[in-house]
Structure formats: C-alpha cells, structure tokens
Structure 1
Amino acid sequence: MRYLSLAILLALLSLKANAQDDPLVDRLKAYGDAKQNANLFVHFDKNVYTNYETIWFTAYLIRKSKAPINQHKLISVALIRDADSTVVIEERFPMQNGLAFGSLVLPDSLLTGNYRLLAITDRLTNSSPEALFVQPITIKTNIDAPFKASMKLIEPGSNKVLLSVTSKDNRFLPKPTMVSYKYGNFTKTAKTDASGQLLLDLPKQENISDPNLHVKLKYEKDSSLISMALPPEKSRASVKFYPEGGNLVAGLPMNIAWEVKDQFQMPIALSALLFKNNQVIDTIETSSYGIGKFRLLADADADYTVKLAHSGLIDSIYHLPKALKKGVGLSIPEALAQDSLRIGLRTNDAKKLTIRIHNFKESFVYATFEMEQHFRTIKIPLNEVPKGLNTITITDSLDRPLAERMFFAHYDSSPKLSLSTNEPSYTQRQKVSLSLKLDSKIENALVSIACVQDSRLNGKNTNDIESYTFLNNELEQLPLNVNGQAYKDKAYLEQILLVKGWRRYTWQEFQEFRPESAAFKTDSLQVIGKVTKSKKELVAPVIVGVLNAQQMGLITTRSTGLFNLNTNELMAEAGRKMYLFVNEKNKLPYKIEVDDAFSNMNAKLRHQISYQSNILPSNLLNNSELVLQSNEKAIRLKEVTITAKKDNGFTFGRGLPGSNACGDYVCRYNILNCPNHVGDSDNTQPVPGRTYMTNGHSMLYTECKASVANNGNELFTPVKGIRLQKEFYLSDYKEPQEPAFFSTIYWNYATLLKGDKATDLSFYTSDITGKFRIVVQGLTDNDVIYAERFFEVKAKQKSDP
C-alpha cells in the first residue's frame, strides 16, 4: 500500500482555503437552487388514533427552498383515506418563522383503516408546494364492531377468497351484507348469502402494483373495511448492481453492492450464485433490507451473471455491467465519517485527476493531482463540509466523472438530549416527573414533547426528525428499518449508502444543466372570494362581512366583486365555523363564491401521495384488528347516535349533545369542553357568567356570540378559517368516577431548553396500563434533535391510595 506524497497530503489539508477555486462553484450553486426542496417535518403525537381523538402536531420548516422561511405564512393539514384517496378533513394553521402548531379532532363517523396526513405550506414553485410532508396513520375504533367479518384464501395458489360475516356473538345475520371489493383494476359489488358468506373469485392480473384485496362491508347503517394481501404469481425480481465508485473496471479488485426487490418494490433477503462465463465462482446473499455486497476482480471480456435461489421468483439470470478496460475505482471503508474521510483510489490508467467534495449545491473540497500509482489512500479533513449526506466525485481534466461515492459527514449518533423520570414504572393516575437535559455542547433547543401509549406508535409508520432530515428527505423511499430509528443504526446506513444515490442530483444531469434555462415561477396558495349580483359581475364594490363566534370583520371588494381573504380575517379558534355575507340591505340578488386554493391543492395531491412509499401487504384479515384492546377504552354503558342532517343555515355547533351554537359544552364534572366527554349525553350548555374548569384552572364563560346567526338563512357562505392552536388539557384525574382512557397523556407544542440547566415538567398517567413512550424532537441552534424514553404503567392495587 502506498500513501499519498507529503506534498499532496498537505495540499489536501489546506483545501478549505482553495475550494472557491473550483471552476464549477457558480454552476453548482445554480443547479442546487434549481433542485433544492424545502425540508418540512411534522411531529404528530402518535400514528394510531381512534374516533373523536385529537391529533396534536408541531411543524418545523428546517430548510428553505426558493422562498425564505419567513415567507411561509400558512400550513395546511389534510387527512386522506388510503382506500379511496378521499380528503376526509382539512384545516390550516398560521406559520411563523418556520414553526406551526395545531390540532385536529377526528370525527366520530370516521371509518377504520389506513390514512395519510398531508401537510403543505402556502408557498408554490411552478404550481407545486415548496414544502410537503406525509405521515401514514391508522384509525382504530373504541367501539366493538357491530358485526364480525373475516377473509381466508380457499387454497394456496388460487385467487379465491371466502368472506364470512356474522353477528358479534357469532350468529347468522338476518339480512345480507353489501360487499364492495377491489383488487388491482377489478372492482365488484355483491351480497353475502343466507349463511353470511361470499366467495370472491378474483381474476389473475399481471404487473399488479398493489398486492392487497380491499373489501368494504355495509350492514344496515354500519360499515367496516378489511383487506388482505394475496400471494402474487411468480414474477421476476428487480435486481440492480452498484459497483462502488460507479463502474466495474477490469483488473481492479472492487466492492459491488447489489439490491433485490419484488414486484411491489419490497426488499427480499435471499442467497444467489455468482457465475463467470457460466461457471460458479461464489455464493452471495442479501440482508433483510434486500442489500448485499461482494468483492470481484473482473476480467475485461468475461460475462458475470447472478442466479437467485428463491422459490417465489421466476428463475432468471441477471447480468452484471460490463467491466471497463480502463478507469478509476473508488472505495470508502466507512461512509459514516466524523471529522475526516478516508478513501482508496485504484486505477489502471495513470492520469491527472480532480477530487471534489460537494453536495450538488456547494463545493467544499477541490484539488487536482497526478495519479501515478495504481493505488493510493487519501485522508481528507472535513472541516468545511457540512453535516449530512455529501458526495465525493473523481473527474478527469475535462470534469468528466470517473468515480463517485456518497458519504455522511460528521456522523454522530451519541445522545444530544437526556430524559429521566423519577420512577421506572407508575400506577394508574400517578404523577410523572420528567427532566430534560441538553448535552453540554448545545446551548438552546426548541422541542415538542409527547408521552403516548407505546402501541399507538406503529413502527412501520414512525418518523423521527433526524432520520427524515438527513435520510428520507434526501433519498428515495428507504426500506423499513427493523431497529426503529434509521439514523442511529450504523449497519443499516452503511448498506443504504452503498446503493442509494442522490436521486434528485446526478453529475450527468448537472453537466447538462444550464442556469439560464431554469425558470421558476413562485406563488402562494390563497383563498379568493367573488361576489356576483343576479349571476352577473359587479360594476361597483360592495362590503363583505366575515363572521365567526368571536368577532366580525368587513372587507371591501374590488369593482369586479373579487376580494382576498388574508390571514387576519380568517383567524378563528379551533372548532369555530366561519361565514361570509354581503353587507347590503337587500342581500337576495347577491351570491358569494369561494375559490379555496388549499382545498384544490389537497384534491390534486391526494392521488399522488399514496405512491410516495412502498405498498405493504396489509393482511388485515379480521375487522376486530382495528378495535382497541379492553385496557385502552372505557366500558360504554350506552351509545349515542348522532344523525347528520342537511344544513344550509348558519350554525356553529357540531350538533353534539349538550353543546351550544358555538360548540361549547360542560361535562358532569364542571369542565368546559372536556376532551374525555365529547358527545356525552350528560353534557350541558355553558351558562354565560358562570365559572368552569379548563386546562387545570378556572375561567369565566362569556356569551356565545353565535346567537346573532339566523339558523336556516341561506345568505351566509361557509369558509374555512385559519385555526389558532388550543392548549393540551392536563388533568390530575382526582375524580374517581371519571374514566380516563387517554393514550396521549402529555403534549407540548414548543418547549425551550437551555443547555446550562435541566427543564422539569410533570403530568399524570391515565387509566390505560402498559408501556408508554416519551418522544422529544425539535431544533437546536444548528441541528435537529431527537430523544425517547419508556416507562411502564401498572394497574393500581386495591390497597393503593
């Protein structure tokens, strides 16, 4: 092994002063600006919810794109059902300095199943959102299913599925159940027979993209969704080979990574035989992530092939790329670098080379040298290289790429934040004391904090701010990390960096890029209103009133009747409805139409986001799997049926028992808008002038101003407001008769942490027993931060106080 000469090593050590000498600096910046996307991350309190629960969130705009962070004024959050891409609910919230806080209440009528939360900000580039984030979630129910439904495959290898529907106590239902099902591009509607069964004979389809059979059942007024993955027909696997550095070069020993996926783009763990000119030379294999690595000294004219050993795949031969007769090999023993990067260079063609470390936005290290030896080891300091994914590109004198490799600079998996509780385990309704302490190197941090039942954090859907910022937001869809947090798993990351590249950035595309050809049109999502009179355009401006339960505002339209609804005019507390009306004596000839760009964009994106992650076989064979366990819910002594009626009038309330026109109610324990008694038949309307408990303290209730509305008047046009955050309700649960089955027992939008002292807070466990998880994530002065801690909640014994 020969090492780089002292002169060249010293040149490399001083590259931080010469990086600006890179002739491609300006083009890299222009290319990076053209391709860069904003990094929006949303911390939701959990990813498994049930009806009438509240979704709490904090949104962090970590990196700007075309617009500065402070130009992102609003964020929209929409709930989209996977089964049919229906936008179920959508709300928008103010954003300031890249931060947004809010909550959404899930309706009682929500069907169980898989959903996605779509978050976008109001800034657009070329008619697309600059910042977008998608969070998969699951909706379960706290009510036992009104009927039981299950599916099973009749026999292996067939596409015949037997569906069975019975009552809750396993009896035959007196009436047939309506069944709608979809498999691939085949859909059909049918009914169960007298025994509650239906045989689904599904046509076999080639190149099907979704392995799941989706079934919707409707019996009288009750509905349920179930699905199952059908075993696919044998198909060819997707096999790709990645010689380290980019090319296989004859006569140079090289590492070759390879990746195997099935027809649904899911990774496959298997073994295979490596052939040279039809002669077996090695046995190779992939990990559970579908990724493997082997070493090969290739001959120039040899044919190298791989044959997979897997009974579920069509027997196929896969060819490695042909070896170049001359070239450069690049190897990195450890792609997770800290303060320096060690690389190995091999060549069979001595020439002048250029080393460039960059991130396709900026150039950080730039040097040229003569590669006279066949092999060199070079150690490069990373003082000027930012933390995260970066690329080292080896080019010739004409800047043509010869080898390239991605690595992670300044990787550090050590904890930045420590969490400690006063006890390792607690009983029901016991006080928890939590202390948060930053690492001594960190001065400040702004974090959101959630403490939730661990089973409400499904590992398949879990996001964390470190893994998303440094990995998911930069690379294409990654295989699910079985150990939880991808960023902390070194072995996983080393495999990923062997086969994943900058899918949005390539050197070939960069060379063809011309800054003058990159045209960007920036805009923002807005809510626009238009007033017409007798179905005709106005010729003079009119006054439009904006009314909610708290205040009324006035807007003067343009002479054509157009008007903008800005943030201040649409501000309203969560749950408050908002209406527009024309402030003229004779309102009948006037009509207001609202063009809501946020709703239009959600409708446009709802079909696209389902393709942003791999489709997993769901195997939801029984609808009871979407019902909470008995220790997670209160026993329902009676059910309240809420009938939705067509409402063309002006009403703010949700129609819940005991609520007034503003949607406010008081539970039996004198708590205003108690989250534990939403829809309870014992609720009463609050009385103006009386004092009620809320958020742990008392408050004086003032008049509900929605009474000014005239119910049944069709002259008011509803419009979505900008929702102000509401505080998380903390309770000590001292009332023994009050059930407290909360899976989220603590939430805080934004807590400021100081590096010189610990931050202490407290909350109480609920009636749910089992494992709970505390998740803390957010921003430091120059980085992102994540930490978690677990504790157990045990059932209180009778002797306990």
Structure 2
Amino acid sequence: MRKLLIILCLLLPLLGLQAQDTNNTRSARFEQKMRWYGAADKGLLFVHFDKNVYTNNEQAWFTGYLLHPPVHVDSNYIMAVALIRNEDSVVVAEEKYLMADGLSFGNMFLPDSLQPGFYSFVAYTNLVEAGQPRAMFVQPVTIKSVVTPSFLASLKLAPETSADSATVLLKADSKDIFNLISNAEVTYSVGTGKQKISGKTRTDPYGAASITVPVKHLTSSASLLKVQVNHKNEKKQLQIRLPLPDNKLRVGIYPESGHLVAGLSNRVAWEVKTAEGTPLSTLALLYRNAVAVDTVQTNGEGLGTFSLFAEAGNSYSIRVLRKDQPDTLYPLPNPVTGVPLLHIADAVAGDTLRISISAKQPGTWHCMIHNYSELYAGFDVTLDNASARGFRMPLTDIPRGLLTVTLLDASGKPVSERMAFAHYDQKDKISIVTDSAAYHTRQKVTVKLKLNAADTGRSGGMLSVACVQDNRLDVRNTTDIESYSYLNHQLADLPFRKDPIGPGEDNKDYLNNILLVKGWRRYNWQGLEKVSAADTLLANIASLQLKGNVTRFEKEAGKPLSLSFITDSAMQLIITAADGSFHIRKEDLVITPGKKLMFFVNEKNKNNYAIQVTDPYARINRNLLAWLPDEQNDQRYLLASHTDSMTLKAGEKAATLATVTVSANKNDGSLYATSALQGRNACGDYVCSYGILNCMNHSYGTLPVEGKTYRTPNGMGMNNTTVYKGCIETKEENKFMLFVKGVYTAKEFYVADYTKIDPSEQMFLSTLYWNYATVVNSAGETELSFYTSDITGRFRIVAQGITSNGVTHAEASFTVKQR
C-alpha cells in the first residue's frame, strides 16, 4: 500500500485532500480486519468443460483450476465431479480426480441410461467446512437424444387463466399420422416440500391433455411446472413457467454510493425484472411528490440510469408504463443530509480511476481503496469551502479486477461506497489463428496460439484448449474463466451477456451499469466488523477421507485383521484396528481412469468376512444442489416446453440418421447408433464394431470376451493387440473382495489422424480436439493440429486458462464443408 500512498501524497495537496500514513489508526485497524476477512475466503474453483451440450455415451473432458486458494494449494488434492439431474437432484454419474498445484485433469463417461433433459456438473475439492465444500463450481449442461423420437410433446399456457389457478395445455403428436398418442400417462409437479403440488392425468384420444394447477403458493423460485409423458416405454420431459399470483414486477432502485443525497445531483441506477426474474426493457415515469418530472427507461438487460437533483423533504418514485401491470409506484430512498456523495463517472478504469466527492456541509471523511481482502490505500478527504473535490487514483499497484472505494465518517462508520473495475483493458490476450477459414471433412487443421502480454514484459501461461461443434455450446450455459473470476463469482445473479469483459464499448457500458446496480451489494461491513483473528484458524475445515471397516459374521472381529490392497500394479498390506477399521492414504487412491481399487481379506475362511468402504463424497454429492444459492438454483433450469428441442437436429448429427436401420444383431458403433446392443461390463470395458478394446473414437460397444484378442488404442494408430483377461469384479467366487472407485489421473484424448487410419465408417465427432494443459508464452507461437470429422458446419475453438498476469480467454471459429 505504501507505494500507492507516495503517489497520492504528490497529488492530494493540489486537491485539498490530506493523505495519511499507512499507520493511520482507522486504516491500520481495517487493514488487519481485511486480512482476516480475506483469510476466511473459500477460494475460487473454475472448471473448463469441452462443451455444455452432450448426448449419452459421450465423454466429457475438463480441466479444473483452483484460483487464489486461501488454504495452501497442496491441501486441495482431489477434485470430485458429479453429474446431477436438475429435475430431482439424482446423481447419475460421479467420479474423483487427482488435483496437483491447483490443477485437475479428467474425463467422465456419460452413461447410456441418461434421459434427455437438463443436468448440472458440480465440482468441488476435498476440503469441506461444516460438512459443505469450500470451493464449488456448477456447469449446467443439456443432454440431448440422438435417436429420432416416435412422438413429440409440447406445452403452452391456456389463453385464459383465473386469479387462483393456471391451466397448461399439453399436446403429444406421433411421427406417424395414423398413430395418435392416446391414453399416454402424464405426471406433473410444481414447487418443493410442503408446497409441492403433483398429480397424474392421461391424454385424450387425440393426444391432448390439460393440467390445472393452483397458483396461490407459487413463488419466483418455485413456479416451474415439470411434466413427464410416458408412452410405450418412451418418456418425454418438459417444463414451463407458471404465472405467479402476484405478477408484480421486481424493481430495484440504487442511488450511486448508497444514498440519495439532498441538495446534490445524484446518479441513480435501476433494474427491472418480471416476477419470474427475466430482465425487462421498459419505460417509466419519474415522480416528485406525485408529479411526473421525467421519463426513464431500462435496456434489454433490464438496466438503466438517470440523474436526479434531490431535495430534502421531497419524495420520489417511479411508475412503470406497462398495460399488463397494476398501477404501482416504486419509491426511491428518501433524500438524506450530512453525508458525502461519492461519484465515479467511469468505473471501468484503465490505470487511473477518477473519483469525485461532494457534500453540502464541510467535513472530513476517511477514504479507503480495497477489495475487502486487502487495503490498497487509506487517506483523509476534507471538504471546507469547496463543495466538491475530484482526484485521480493511480492503479499501478492494484491487481486487475473489482475494487471498492469506501468513505468512513469520524466514528468509523461507512457512509458511502462505490465499486470499480481496475485495468479493464490490460490483460494477457490470446490470439488463435487457423491456417484456413474453411476445411473439408477429414482434413487437417493447424492452429497457432500466441500469448500477447498485457505490458512490455514477457508472460507465460497454461491453457485448456477445445475444438467442438458450435451447436454443442449453448450460449445460455456458457461462461469463461475470465468473466467467472472477475464478475460472476463475486456478483451473483447478473443479467446474461456473453463475454462481458471482452472488447467493445457495449461491454464497458454493461459493466458500468452492473457496478452501479450490483456493486452496492458488496457493502460487507457487518461481516468485516465481526471478523477476528480466530477466523483465520479455519478450525472447521476438514479433508474428506475414505475409510474402511471389516466385520466377521457382521460383527466386530475383535482383533486386527490383514487386508491386501491392489492398485494398478502394486499390492500393499493393510492391518486394521481391533475394531476392524482402517484408513486409506490419499496417495494410495490414485489409479488409472476406468479402473478400480481392490481390497480382499488375507485371513482364513475369507467368506466369513465383509469389507465396507465409506466414501464421504457420495454423501456430499446427494446434497450439492440443495446447497446452491437460490439464484444459482434457478439458473439451472432452461425451459424445454417442446421435446423437439431435446433432440439433435439433422444439421447437428449424421445426415443419414433417418435412413439407418439397426437390427437386433447389428451395432454400427457410431455415436448416433441405437443403444439397443450397446454395453460395458462392470469394469467399464467394451469393444467397438472394429474390434478395438476401449476404442478412442467410440465410447461404447459390445461386451468383451475373456481370452479373446483385441486391438487396443495406441496414440494415433491401432496396431497393438492384447488378450482380454476378463473383469474380475464380476466373478462369483470373489464375493469377499471389494472394488472401490479411486482417484483418477488424466486420460489422454486421442486425436484422430486419418493419414494413419481412415475408417470406412462415418466419424461423427463433435469434439475434434481437447488438451488439458497447453503451454503458451509471449516469446513465440504454440502450434497444435487435429483433423475434422464427417460432421459439417461451424466449429469453435475455445482456449482459456491462467497466465503470469491472471486469467485469460479467447475463441475462434471455422467451417467444415463436405468433400
């Protein structure tokens, strides 16, 4: 903080401001508290997934980044990932992955049993506080079907609804016009807990049904009607928002710096959302003492600003001009006196922040520049004869990102506060250049990555890089490491905007509005006042551990027992405690992806013993969605009021899908084949239609046969062979053994090379390239290459990760055409 104060000392005498030494009583007191407050931070976990639209039988690839962890980074050595169905919070897949130096690499196979719908990947590390993960990341995803459905279903609200209930019309249509979807079972529910409403009905002879639901107890967070249609073993799931009984708009009014200051011109931000939480563009009248004095408006993101000269004793309000709304006045805060007005004309700053402080009465206030974890500067501001003072704050020693300016009165109470973004345009930028803008199918793509340092010095970094089919990235569920780190993680419930920290004046305007509307919510002085040195002890933090127990005839053995423990290639001996309990060291959990740890008893009469291993991650996974804040929980639900949106369309998959016929004794092995004969054994092993064991290009196949020879993946080729030794987990005589999922290392993503092997079958690969960690630097270019598949259309390259100067993100695209 001292270097910044030295610069300020040179500027402030010219401006009527009084700079204080670092040891100023108020600054020193809060500086210590901010360090304690920062130590209690839970850290930030971000996970880059290759895409956010998947199908069953696909692999999800990802890199986890643990950014600025308050606890030593080595204490986070496992990243758990669970795939959870949003509708009922059922965990459909869960695994654990090795984390080292704050990085975790992994992939997860999406099971064949997945039904189309909305899901969430939830990731967290092994550190928990009071039983809940300290650092957690949620990636909403959509699972779509690749099979042409036999029928479609849709929902819509009935044209007329009463004040007490809402009616939804359902229509199920068959692909075959001669087969109507009659008498199909329809189940529905809305709400949770005691307020949950559920029921059943059936479609009429024409495939129609109506659902009437009382709306008395509906709220904005519990107004989603979930409907399932069952017809001949095929299920369709749909959702639709119900109108709320109180359809009143959600209007927030936020004077700059927290108060409407009497006798001065105030900038006021306001935000409008529908009752369901959707941002609304609208016009409104501004009233003074019930007399209209101005017209104000919000933009498409529901945000707006206006200026107001506030006078003591007057009342101010807003009336939204919408025919579908009751005539309602939304009051502004009452004007106050005796407090300063803190004004920042442009809060999206480069290397200098311009601040203006105004007041109607003389006074001295203490100004602090900080981020609630670190105090960057503290100095007194005195206004005597002049009613306003302006000064420039150099940001040289302040890191990129959000910062807060707070004014304290003589008693140390905060009276004004404002947020800003430092070094907005100063970041390490990634350039992505392809050797062509368009390619043919199965053609080589060469990409050059270049890190351009934010300053004149050199920089290096590590990026995860994906190239995927463009329609596998739903913009509504897309976030990047830069926006998440600097904005979404700190300011919740933001209006949607893709790449809000990207270049362009529109993005700067958006961010300025956000800092006015959302920034005042960072008024965390209550928590700051309460924090103490004891909060830095982190006494409630624990590390999740797998624990085991052995019983004899379902009772304690009464003596230490001998166990053998087998990983990939090593065997170890475990001696239990007298009660049969044992611990598994973290380093012994690491294993090759897809394999399992094996335990077995070394005692005589082995079948008399039973081994149990308790996995605490499994318990946590079943509660993850319930622990999310309400605004994050609500964002997990994208609406699908028509089931056709849950099926990949012709341009998104094989053009020949409609003409493919699969009999009971044939499986073509492609991504878009029917799932009738697909399978994996208990060990996760399978053979694709080309006789390749655990094929790199197909995620499923037929079950392997013990003793048979198969080809195995080998980098770019398929030249190795192996004799399959069987899946020991399925053998009857091994009941005394226990197989447990371990902590997986990274599995290599094999890039297709059609110069080495050119399959005759069509290759429908939506992920063409994935690299967990690509090293880049500003001294030169990093080159990578891969091949297009048989899917045509637009593909997108996404590169994001960490650099010497923070985090960065970039995208580029190209087109694939048929040969």
Instruction: Give TM-score, length-normalised by structure 1.
Output: 0.91
Asked whether the 8 Å contact 1:54–1:106 carries over to 2, the reply is: yes
What is the SS of the residue equivalent to 1:157?
Answer: coil
Asked whether the 8 Å contact 1:359–1:389 carries over to 2, the reply is: yes
How much has 1:474 moved relative to structure 2?
Answer: 1.2
Select 2:134's aligned residue among 106, 125, 130. Answer: 130
Correspondence list, 1:76-115, <5 A: 76-115=80-119
Task: Name the amino acid aligned to 2:591.
Answer: A
Distance change >3 Å, CA 491–CA 641, structure 1 → 2: farther
Which range is displaced more, 384-393 or 148-157?
148-157
Show the counterpart of 1:526.
Answer: 545
Show the counterpart of 2:349.
Answer: 337
Which range is displaced more, 631-640 or 268-277?
631-640
Asked whether the 8 Å contact 2:287–2:293 carries over to 1, the reply is: yes
Separation in 2, partners of 1:309, 1:397:
43
How much has 1:28 moved relative to structure 2?
Answer: 2.6
Select 2:431's aligned residue among 418, 423, 437. Answer: 418
| Percent identical residues | 38
Separation in 1, partners of 2:375, 2:14:
19
Distance change >3 Å, CA 703–CA 18, structure 1 → 2: farther
Separation in 1, partners of 2:20, 2:689:
71
Separation in 2, partners of 1:121, 1:501:
29
Separation in 1, partners of 2:515, 2:484:
15
Show the counterpart of 1:722.
Answer: 743
Separation in 1, partners of 2:58, 2:105:
17
Separation in 2, partners of 1:11, 1:691:
80
Distance change >3 Å, CA 4–CA 385, structure 1 → 2: closer
Asked whether the 8 Å contact 1:543–1:584 carries over to 2, the reply is: yes
Separation in 1, partners of 2:106, 2:27:
46
Q: Deviations over 1:71-124 (max 9, x none)?
A: 101000000111111111100000000000000011111011111100000012
Task: Name the amino acid aligned to 1:42.
Answer: V
Select 1:47's aligned residue among 45, 49, 52. Answer: 52
- Aligned: 1:201 with 2:220: no
Asked whether the 8 Å contact 1:148–1:170 carries over to 2, the reply is: no
- Aligned: 1:167 with 2:174: yes
Distance change >3 Å, CA 675–CA 163, structure 1 → 2: farther
- Aligned: 1:538 with 2:557: yes
Separation in 1, partners of 2:800, 2:772:
10
Separation in 2, partners of 1:347, 1:628:
61
Which range is displaced more, 323-332 or 583-592?
583-592
What is the SS of the residue equivalent to 1:598?
Answer: helix
How much has 1:256 moved relative to structure 2?
Answer: 0.9
Show the counterpart of 2:277.
Answer: 265
- Aligned: 1:464 with 2:480: yes
Task: Name the amino acid aligned to 2:187.
Answer: S
Asked whether the 8 Å contact 1:82–1:610 carries over to 2, the reply is: no
Q: Deviations over 1:566-597 (max 9, x none)?
A: 33333332222444332222123322222211
What is the SS of the residue equivalent to 1:604?
Answer: coil
Show the counterpart of 1:651.
Answer: none
Show the counterpart of 1:189.
Answer: 200
What is the SS of the residue equivalent to 2:623?
Answer: helix
Select 1:301's aligned residue among 307, 313, 328. Answer: 313
Separation in 2, partners of 1:579, 1:538:
21
Separation in 2, partners of 1:15, 1:437:
44
What is the SS of the residue equivalent to 1:601?
Answer: helix
How much has 1:365 moved relative to structure 2?
Answer: 0.9
Separation in 2, partners of 1:480, 1:415:
24
Asked whether the 8 Å contact 1:172–1:195 carries over to 2, the reply is: no
Show the counterpart of 2:516.
Answer: 498
What is the SS of the residue equivalent to 1:24?
Answer: helix
Task: Name the amino acid aligned to 1:695.
Answer: G
Select 1:180's aligned residue among 187, 206, 209. Answer: 187
Separation in 2, partners of 1:276, 1:470:
38
Task: Name the amino acid aligned to 1:747.
Answer: W
What is the SS of the residue equivalent to 2:634?
Answer: coil
Distance change >3 Å, CA 710–CA 767, structure 1 → 2: closer
What is the SS of the residue equivalent to 2:257?
Answer: coil
What is the SS of the residue equivalent to 1:49?
Answer: strand
How much has 1:476 moved relative to structure 2?
Answer: 1.6
What is the SS of the residue equivalent to 1:23?
Answer: helix
Which range is displaced more, 216-225 or 53-62?
216-225
Separation in 2, partners of 1:632, 1:9:
64
How much has 1:560 moved relative to structure 2?
Answer: 1.7
Distance change >3 Å, CA 479–CA 145, structure 1 → 2: same
Q: Deviations over 1:413-465 (max 9, x none)?
A: 66611110010111111111100111144421101000011111111100100
Separation in 2, partners of 1:658, 1:188:
35
Which blocks of at least 5 consecutive residues in structure 1 are unaligned?
Answer: 643-653, 797-801
Distance change >3 Å, CA 216–CA 6, structure 1 → 2: closer
Separation in 1, partners of 2:173, 2:363:
77
Asked whether the 8 Å contact 2:427–2:805 carries over to 1, the reply is: no
Separation in 1, partners of 2:90, 2:151:
25
How much has 1:384 moved relative to structure 2?
Answer: 2.2
Show the counterpart of 2:3.
Answer: none
Distance change >3 Å, CA 278–CA 572, structure 1 → 2: same
Task: Name the amino acid aligned to 1:534.
Answer: F
How much has 1:610 moved relative to structure 2?
Answer: 7.4
Distance change >3 Å, CA 738–CA 594, structure 1 → 2: same
Task: Name the amino acid aligned to 1:387.
Answer: R
Task: Name the amino acid aligned to 2:438.
Answer: S
Select 1:762's aligned residue among 785, 805, 812. Answer: 785
Separation in 1, partners of 2:170, 2:681:
45
Separation in 1, partners of 2:331, 2:25:
42
Show the counterpart of 1:744.
Answer: 767
Show the counterpart of 1:323.
Answer: 335
Task: Name the amino acid aligned to 1:383.
Answer: T
How much has 1:712 moved relative to structure 2?
Answer: 2.6
Instruction: Give TM-score, length-normalised by structure 2.
Output: 0.89
Q: Deviations over 1:21-44 (max 9, x none)?
A: 922245333442354121110000
Which range is displaced more, 698-707 or 728-737?
698-707
Distance change >3 Å, CA 710–CA 155, structure 1 → 2: closer
Show the counterpart of 1:627.
Answer: 647
Which blocks of at least 5 consecutive residues in structure 2 are unaligned?
Answer: 1-7, 667-674
Separation in 2, partners of 1:36, 1:9:
39
Show the counterpart of 1:794.
Answer: 817
Select 1:479's aligned residue among 495, 510, 517. Answer: 495
Asked whether the 8 Å contact 2:351–2:396 carries over to 1, the reply is: yes
Separation in 1, partners of 2:86, 2:11:
60
What is the SS of the residue equivalent to 2:761?
Answer: coil
Distance change >3 Å, CA 516–CA 236, structure 1 → 2: same
Q: Deviations over 1:240-288 (max 9, x none)?
A: 2211111111101111111222323332221111111111111111122
How much has 1:45 moved relative to structure 2?
Answer: 0.3
Could you say what the CA RMSD is over the residues aligned between the two structures, in angstroms? 3.0
Show the counterpart of 2:799.
Answer: 776
Show the counterpart of 1:645.
Answer: none
Select 2:465's aligned residue among 449, 459, 471. Answer: 449
Separation in 1, partners of 2:592, 2:25:
51
Show the counterpart of 2:414.
Answer: 401
Asked whether the 8 Å contact 1:661–1:706 carries over to 2, the reply is: no
Task: Name the amino acid aligned to 1:498.
Answer: L
Separation in 1, partners of 2:293, 2:443:
64
How much has 1:348 moved relative to structure 2?
Answer: 1.0
Task: Name the amino acid aligned to 1:433.
Answer: T
How much has 1:538 moved relative to structure 2?
Answer: 3.1
Distance change >3 Å, CA 503–CA 90, structure 1 → 2: farther
- Aligned: 1:33 with 2:38: yes
- Equivalenced residue count is 780
Distance change >3 Å, CA 275–CA 640, structure 1 → 2: farther
Distance change >3 Å, CA 618–CA 512, structure 1 → 2: closer
